A and B are shown apart, each in its own frame.
Chain A
Amino acid sequence: MPETLDLSLYVQHRDGTAHIDLAVEGVACGGCIRRIEGSVKALPGIVEARLNFANRRLAVDWREGEADAAQVIATLARIGYRAHPFRPERAEIEEARHASFLMRCLAVAGFAAMNIMLLSVSVWSGNVTDMTPETRDFFHWFSALIALPAAAYAGQPFFRSAVAALRARRVNMDVPISLGVCLALGMSVVETIGHAEHAYFDSAVMLLFFLLCGRYLDHAMRRKTRAVAGNLAALKAETAHRIDARGEVVIVPSAALRAGDRLLIRPGERVPADGVVLTGASEIDESLVTGETERRAVAPGAALYAGSTNFSGALTLRVTAAGSGTLIDEVERLLDKAVAARSRYLRLADRAARLYAPVVHATAALTALGWLIAGASLHDAVVTAIAVLIITCPCALALAIPAVQVVASGALFRRGIILNAGDAIERLAEIDTVVFDKTGTLTLPEPRVANAGGIAPDLLETAARLALTSRHPLAVAVAREARERAPIDGASEEPGQGVRAVIDGVEARLGSGVFCGIAQATESHAPGTSVICFAHGERHAVLAVRQQMRPDAAATVRALAARGLDVHILSGDRPAAVAPIAQALGVAQWRGGMKPAEKIAIIEQLAASGRRVLMVGDGINDAPALAAAHVSLAPISAADIAQAQADAVFLGDRLAPVGDAVTVATRARALMRQNLALAVVYNAIAVPIAIAGLATPLIAAIAMSGSSLLVTLNALRAARRRSEAAPPAVAPALAPQARPA
């Protein structure tokens, strides 16, 4: 029966044309652009197809009724690209708008800074040679003409943020910035009217330009990670088989499911929504939900959670309202509590600003007072005080932290770590305890063949290629061993038994022991292990399938312990299943059979004893603990609710990103502190000069650009890799190769 694909959720309609955005997997080179666009445009009714290579998204427009989205996806699949329908998040659209605004501000500030500098340099050289006062005034007026509108436009990001902070009775870095810029411009206008020698138009606009550079880069980095996160979400988004009123099966995106829908769930498929079993009986793997690796038998009336995997029999399911299961209820309740209890983390930059602003403003006031007492005129005293404000305007300080942030999040990104929270780097650097979940975190999210080493490689390869044709979870695990991904032709599946095909003239069978004609060893070796048999003529093998540790779990845990971090394991799985893992990793502090409430209680207990905890987990049951911890990480295979709570998500089968994240964050924090120290040293030198009344615009310009360059160059060191153990390049991170779901 051909199944129809219903994508109406993702299609946008605008006067006669329909539009859909697709995240495309496997776009690797320039040739892909032509192949993708060419084949889509060749379809009847397509108006436009444009691939954005930078974020691997294809925008397709077609005339209403002449084509449809499913056809486009099928066409792409035929030429070898998997496309996933995609709806840009509101936050992403908002950020794109803001990025373009920042870029316009940057362009205006850059233009103004260059032109004013042109005039200023003439004035500076003219002041020591033979420039007439009239020419100087003309240049100053011209500078004012450029600087005032430019600052009014390009300064908006700072002015708005400063006003918002002041309204909330807080001080952030933008307050001294805005004050400095406004005073510098105001004073320069007054000085120009008074035919003075010096005006600070160039300082004010250059300051804005440097700060906008930092801010734009910071924003661009965040947008890039958000785009990748959006693509990953699209790749992960699942489809469901909905049974409509006439009893026909329609494939719909899970996001389109409503309470009351009836779904068909075949063996090997993920349960796409919470619900109650209507018909059928099966075993359910709930390792993503509870961490339990033992499968649960379900019958009509049983409740299923989204994220569990149907193992053996087909089920029909009635979708219940989201979050109606007892477990989900508990998780949601704990989550609300944890989020409410989380204190707002005060970032390093804000802490610095809190300290900095009063000191600078007091210094400026004291300077004015000092000069008045020393007998200077009011005009001179005020001019000197403003010069102090301009020179201390936290150019270096405001760049010190964002610059490191940009470089460090870029370094994390290359190692396959995507940050969700802006302050995650700072919090990651502070941890002293790491708590791991077991199932799906220390172990791989999907089961693997445990005894692959003990089977003849060619026999295993044949079995794996035969397994590619089946969707049974055990077969999928065996199929992961295939080096060549081409399935075997003419394979046929007997439901509940196995698959068979004729390979090299000899019949091959993969399935239960009886199906393969192997009598011995069909019972499980150990709890949590399943057995699947393979026979190819006379040769046969018994494959043990179970959850396996991530390949570098032991090395990563050892490295974390070597850094002096305290490592714990808290698992929802049975203690008997946790013990061997803890032993293999050399972790003494472990607990099994933990309920979500118990996990969170232990995290809180650790926090109460002054520990700063990094929680690494993936299950729905981990979500409250992730929210409660000081900082949290989740693998990309994690349940949506867990990923939403995590401060960062890491890609791939390796656990190394956890160690990398801590390393990069620690170094980034050290650099942030160094940069702050540099800014303080700069001020220690520049402020006395300004207080003495010697800060001419030339000195201000040199000091400002010099210190900005210094902190930016220092920040670049955050990207330096360790010389030893170079991390493997993450596959083109913008479109990570999707692992078979």
Chain B
Amino acid sequence: MAILKVPLTAEDHAQGPENADVTLVEYGDYECSYCGQAYPIVRQVQKRFGKSLRFVFRNFPLSEMHPNAEAAAEVAEFAGAQGKFWEMHDRLYENQERLGEALYLDLAEKLKLSTTALRQALEQRTFEARVRADFKGGVRSGVNGTPTFFINGHRHDGSFDFETLVSAIQQAMVTAKSA
């Protein structure tokens, strides 16, 4: 059973309280269609568990397969550096079929981020190191494709449909409370 090897830190992009019973970590790729399918499901799961669940997203762009995945990840990190990670993350998934510079600039404008600064960050690969660090940590933790989920540090090898995720999280909750 693969275990999350890179502990959660303040650098992580997280939603939900730090002391939540269960933490769900996703390693995802903005261009991966399966991650696109998982996006609304994760939302539902978050709604279902409310404050008992913390959700963390880390980058795992499969760049050989998905030519836009790396840049999209860097765009989300660019927004994240200005406190708007989730706003950008959500919009990237909601516009997955339009990934590309035109979309990034458009989204930056909508989020009131500087398009000049975004262009510069992409050209200078300002957020490449951050994205690579996520990727490498994922590899060492046994991420085996996208999306890969970890529930309280254990890789979730089941499917990511709503029912399966909910029941895996419920089980983790029971384990956490009995420990």
Decide whether A and B are members of one complex: no
Chain B residues in the interface with A (C-beta under 8 A)? none
